[in-house]
Structure 1
């Protein structure tokens, strides 16, 4: 019989009942060090006091009124994001997938409004933009699209890393290009700064919009508020989610006034998007994470973690190949199956996240204490030792 919860997930046999900081407590009392942070969502860890206070205060006042009315918390968060970024305007969603859908609509509507409709959107293979029909069509991977056709048309997919082919694919017929500055699900694969700059120039030349998907790599994850800041390149449209709500469902699409010119009353909407609860929490997260002192600490912690992981890789050449990533968005490229490392780490009370390209992701809370970083590396070391002994045990 089918379970009461639709079986679309391959869940680990763990049921967490509480959390604090970088630690989770299982129903049986076991404690786990969480280096996944809900897949880069819990930016300030579990049960962060500042976020609990913000949510509790708002919950005592007002939960929901709908976007029929002005929502003060939504306005405050939009103003803050406009102040901190390239954007002139913001639309709030509940998730990154919803942000992807609006990004598609906004890009196509822009050209229609200009009187020269374009539909084609150029995207990268190995990307992940969500699981709606539009988002999977945009990513295009066989694993995600098989059985769900017919898919939304109008997408061109270019292999990751083939920069000349990417630039050549952007023509006068292109409505927009969408890339993750650092692919998350794709295996912590960063697009070089020079490529992002060339892509910006190419889009400008042919009149296409540039969309950055910063759902996973944004909100301080790389040591800057948004990853594209490292390259000194700004998009026309940007998707945000995951860390922006610190664990509360929240997403956003940020855009320039020019790119958003087609989005007028009635062209898009959301019942829950930008609700008082989500925006109250998002405002608190954004205020904390955007602080230069906080970001400086993210970079310091990232350096500490990276240095320790480089030593780990050197100590276990049969298990690990290399360390990749930026800030606290780290990938361990493995010589063993990522699932094996995830399982071995779990046995040591450590939670990690698998990805494509034989990578295991480490996406800890941005405020993870130094001692928890050291403990995580020690547990990874024990996990690697356990994996190294497996062939001898089976011989």
Structure 2
């Protein structure tokens, strides 16, 4: 049996129509197939490869850590240099109020930890999230997700969940003294790149302060330079009580984190002790890769280049079939009339060597979220292929 047959026979499938792109190697913005195929990855493995595939400095950090040790002990017991240096580097990117990091393996796990911490610290049970939010697929993360299509088959989920509309000022009145936390994507991702105004986030912050509610910002897709700032909330002049990150954090390695202040995080230490446990969270190899990723973003000034590159995409992707363009930095949605129009374009672009996608809750829009290292010439080449795919379909 070849690899494709083995994939279909023995790996659990999530749809009846996987992409079935076979990858032999990846480098920079490119994926390479076994028969000489070359693809420009315009989605970064869904927001993961912010510094590109196999960045040399990430590989070096991984190799150096491989030569020292791998997993040693469950999280939080041993002093491990990759974890401590990463935690310090993360805190250095944040306002001083956010000074305590809990490392996990993924975005969903980070959301789960943040929700537990909010309940434990506030001794409240109500959680509020947004319509069309996506926070992950585990039970708690799914509970605060905002799309019933993905939830209904798995009910009952967590009780005490309410939803508000992202960007709606009037809905902020639903936040009360019974609300433990509001968890909200700083930039709504799977809803198709929706960006609320700064005044909304400032009003949200004010309402949470008035009610003693913790504000949790989900930056799993938007963080690590994707929007042109290290953290997307920097655009809105607010400070959250917790930040959740993953995806672009690891340079291609699995890692996530939720970050709060030391007082809030201390709620996990008593009644019960070990209030949150992870065996592999903050794995030393992933932590080393993440630390290298932060240094790459800063030293190579990739974040400073985001806005210029986003504007280049906007200027090039002009076509009668394109109905709109939404973005915050290199989180981009290109809108078409319908999914029936978009899907053949995505398929043809893949055949021509450019990988894009659509959004879970916005299937009329093309997802573009390239590695931040993409050059202007590579952007021109990718956009030329997308326009060709539009013309040919």
TM-score, normalisation: structure 2: 0.92
Query: Could you tell me which residue of structure 2 aligns to residue 90 of structure 1?
Result: 101
Q: Which residue of 2 aligns with 1:333?
A: 335
Aligned: 1:128 with 2:139? no
For 1:349, the equivalent position in structure 2 comes to: 353
Q: Distance in 2 between matches of 1:155 and 1:258?
A: 25
User: Aligned pair 1:177/2:177, yes or no?
Assistant: no
**Deviation by residue 1:286-326 (Cα, 9 ceiling, x = unmatched):** 122245833212232222223223xx2xxx22x21111011
Counterparts of 1:235-384 in structure 2, within 5 Å, are: 235-264=240-269, 265-291=273-299, 293-309=301-317, 312=318, 316-317=319-320, 319-337=321-339, 338-355=342-359, 356-357=361-362, 358-384=364-390
Report how many residues are paired. 374
Unaligned runs of 5+ in 1: 113-117, 388-395
Kept in 1: contact 2:48–2:247 (CA 8 A): yes
Separation (CA, whole Å) in 1 of partners of 2:176 and 2:259: 24
Report the TM-score, using the length of structure 1 for normalisation. Answer: 0.91
3-state secondary structure, aligned to 2:24: strand
- Alpha-carbon distance between aligned partners in 2 of 1:382 and 1:148, rounded to the nearest angstrom: 41
1:75 aligns with 2:79: no
Moved more, 222-231 or 300-309: 300-309
Separation of aligned partners in 1, 2:300 and 2:99 = 22
Contact 2:168–2:200 (8 Å) recurs in 1: no
Deviation of 1:209 (Å): 0.5
Deviation at 1:47, TM superposition (A): 1.5
Matched-pair contact (CA < 8 Å) for 2:167–2:200: no
Contact 1:298–1:367 under 8 Å retained in 2: no
Question: Deviation per CA, 1:318-358, whole angstroms, max 9, x where unpaired?
Answer: x2111101111111011131323211211221100211322
Cα pair 1:55 1:277 within 8 Å, conserved: yes
Unpaired runs of 5+ residues, structure 2, are: 1-7
Residues 66 and 285 in structure 2, CA contact (< 8 A), matched pair in contact too: yes
Q: CA deviation at 1:25?
A: 0.6
Match for residue 38 of structure 1?
45
Runs of 4 or more above 6 Å deviation: none
Q: Is the 8 A contact 1:224 1:230 kept in 2?
A: yes
Deviation at 1:218, TM superposition (A): 0.5
Q: CA 1:4–1:138 in structure 2 vs 1: closer, same or farther (change >3 Å)?
A: same
